Amino acid sequence: MANVPQIKIPAVYMRGGTSKGVFFRLQDLPEAAQVPGEARDRFLLRVIGSPDPYAKHIDGMGGATSSTSKTVIVAPSSRPGHDVDYLFGQVAIDKPFVDWSGNCGNLSAAIGPYAIANGFIDPARIPDDGIVTVRIWQANIRKTIVAHVPVADGQVQETGDFELDGVTFPAAEVQLEFMDPAAEEGDGGGAMFPTGNLVDDLEVPGVGTLKATLINAGIPTVFVNAADIGYTGTELQDAINGDPKALAMFETIRAYGAMRMGLIAHVEEAARRQHTPKVAFVAPPAGYAASSGRRVEAGDIDLLVRALSMGKLHHAMMGTAAVAIGTAATIPGTLVSLAAGGRAHEAVRFGHPSGTLRVGAEARQEGGDWVVTKAVMSRSARVLMEGWVRVPGDAF
């Protein structure tokens, strides 16, 4: 049998927030992968190195965690008033599928810098020094993200003194505005609160009946109280990721929350939809040692939040889940708001396993319904490597 040579495809490996992934221009993909479907999924799986029964991604660009098994496709926007279309693919680690059901808020921070550096923005809009505003159409969830990207000497400024807990080195700050982040239609569940309630009684077999806030803002998220499931909210990754019973419990909560939100029709479908919804647990402020060893004091934060992504406790916080946290914190009566003291917060600083994060949101009531116009947070981004990725020619 003749050996099949590898092909090479232009790509950029970037960090955005506390995630990193492989970025492609749509026109650079192999022709079969330029349209949605099995060929595209197989191509991206091979790029990342999935499915990998060893869960190491040795033979691919992935990092064998939910934060590092990510892919991005960028194209000139077909949407009026936008610069680029951004499509995100969360690649499963040990299973042969790519989840397209949600956005990555962390990698959203890299889209603006990537667009500027790769010719998607008119050079006339790029000053020698200043800020470039990039309007991004997030194609997975059909929402607008506005990125404010610093430039110096006409180039994207990547270095700086902005520190982001969960990222080792400081970098330049990129401010993101997630516009109208709540769901409106279709797969998102139909509304910001799909059940119509700020708090529901969620029946979870084998666990019990839990108070839960089921919200779709940024990404569908199931919030429960830490105390109700035997936690304090100060846990780090090892306390949960090393406990198979705990992981099974969280997956059960996630599955029944997904069904209650209308995201799936049968609980078994959750296994094929790993990226959404997220499940998170909240608690009032308390002091703890972050994963870096740095002390976070109760007085430094408004509440504690821990969230799971792709079946594991996240090492910091997903950007989309941070949008959900900021949105829920603005609305009195949600579990997030109650954990933060029971009042509405225009911005909250919450504690996560790697430290703290501040996120703000603007909300108002219209006709008895809550409307959130935008959520705002700061992240950073940096190019780690650029050139080509190579995959066997028969990989897709």
Enzyme catalytic residues: 104, 318
Show the tokens assigned to 288. 């703890």
> How many Å apart are CA 141 and CA 221, to the nearest integer?
14
3-class DSSP state of 40: helix
The packing angle between helices 319-329 and 105-117, to 10°, is 120
| 42 contacts 71 by C-beta, under 8 angstroms | no
> How many Å apart are CA 366 and CA 372, to the nearest integer?
10
Cα 77 to the chain's mean position, in Å? 21
Residues 6 or more apart whose CB falls under 8 angstroms from that of 365 comprise: 371
Amino acid at 195: T
| 213 contacts 269 by C-beta, under 8 angstroms | no
| 17 contacts 68 by C-beta, under 8 angstroms | no
| 139 contacts 85 by C-beta, under 8 angstroms | yes
194 CB neighbour count, 10 Å cutoff: 20
Show the tokens assigned to 221. 């998220």
Signed CA dihedral, 342, 374, 264, 50: sign only? negative
